Amino acid sequence: MKYIQSITILLISILSFTAHAQSNFKATYKLTYQPDSTNEKNKESEIFLLYVNNELSKFLSYNNALRDSIRLEIKKGNMTTEEIVQQTMSRPRTNFYVKINKIFQESRIENLHQVTTELYRYYQPLNLMDWTIGNQTKSINGYNCQKATTSYAGRDYVAWFDAEIPISDGPYKFYGLPGLIISVYDTQEHYKFDLVGLEKGNYEIKRNLVNEDYQLITEAEYKRMRENYNANAEAMAKRVFSQMDGNKKPKKSSANNPIELE
């Protein structure tokens, strides 16, 4: 328990005081998602952080941020051998290694991905989504929200934003509404982000906390690489399954439902 507490304190310290750009807001979102498109009863969840200032925003999973803080402290030599072993063995689990930086002054999104042990980055335009803002309103956890809809990467989305919060941003790549996104989900509700916390302060953020070397590729190259990786992983799973019991058909992958279908 003391290791978890120390790393949590470390994360807050690092994200708050070691970088170059001050953040006006920290928004915490809970993602509820369905990893298997054929099994609606299987839902998982993970917590994400969004740091926003006038120059950029940074979005990543909380556990991914914890992992970064551990690696940074190891690089800086601030841990004993025993602590390094303990932290390496108990690294927080995440299913989302992507980090998304929205760089407002450059009008583009920087996508940082990890595929196995390799690191890649590619860029997209900041305004990826064409929003339709409706007249419907409702209260969500005390926020006065207005409805908007859009489509992106093979999914249709509904978003609820609060125009009283002067942040034209939201979780993942969602951006461009006249207020902070409080809730956003695809119409099948396979992916749903809900705001669970909002703090205002002078947090500091870095686009790349641990100064890792991300190889620059195009979005198309990244998608081809992911497709090849997923196909190879599926083929390997089938081979292993058939060796275990040749009389049974291999099960369909339980992680066949990525947030981006296209």
Tell me the pLDDT tens digit for each residue of 103-139.
Answer: 999 999 999 998 888 999 999 999 999 999 999 999 9
Q: Does residue 13 carry a pLDDT above 80?
A: no
Q: Is 240 within a domain?
A: no
| Least confident residue range of 1-5, 25-29, 106-110 | 1-5
Q: Is 186 within a domain?
A: yes
Per-chain mean pLDDT for the chain: 84
Q: Is 69 within a domain?
A: yes
Compare 102 and 240 and report the one with higher pLDDT. 102
Q: Whole-angstrom Cα distance, residue 76 to residue 59?
A: 24
Tally the domains of the chain: 1
Percent of the chain with pLDDT over 90: 59
> Which two structure tokens, joined as six digits, stand for 243?
């060796």
| DSSP H stretches of helix in the chain | 2-17, 62-75, 81-89, 219-244
Distance from CA of residue 40 to its chain's centroid? 22
The burial class, CB within 10 Å (0-12 / 13-18 / 19+), for 151 is: middle
Q: Measured on CA atoms in the order 203, 80, 61, 226, is the torsion positive or negative?
A: positive
Cα–Cα nearest to 50, from 15, 18, 6, 20: 15
* First-to-last C-alpha distance (Å) of the chain: 42
Q: Whole-angstrom Cα distance, residue 188 to residue 195?
A: 19
Q: What is the DSSP letter of 175?
A: B
Q: Is 241 within a domain?
A: no
- Predicted TM-score of the model (pTM): 0.82
| Least confident residue range of 34-38, 58-62, 164-168, 255-259 | 255-259
Q: Is 32 within a domain?
A: yes
How many CB atoms neighbour CB 165 within 10 A?
Answer: 20
Torsion from C-alpha of 18, 20, 25, 28, nearest 10 degrees: -50
Q: Is 236 within a domain?
A: no
Q: Does residue 235 carry a pLDDT above 90?
A: no
Q: Measured on CA atoms in the order 203, 140, 196, 207, is the torsion positive or negative?
A: negative
Give me the CATH number covering residue 116: 2.50.20
Q: Is 255 within a domain?
A: no
Give strand pairing partners of 102.
57, 109
For 154, the domain range is 2-205
Q: Does residue 77 carry a pLDDT above 80?
A: no
**Each residue of 169-221: pLDDT tens digit?**
999 999 999 999 999 999 999 999 999 999 998 877 788 867 778 999 999 99
3-state SS of 197-212?
A: EEEEEEEEECCCCCCC
Amino acid sitting at position 86: Q
| Least confident residue range of 88-97, 146-155, 215-224 | 88-97
Q: Is 227 within a domain?
A: no
Look at residue 186 in the predicted model and tell me its pLDDT: 98
Q: Whole-angstrom Cα distance, residue 50 to residue 143?
A: 18
At residue 17 the predicted structure's pLDDT band, cuts being 50, 70 and 90, is: very low
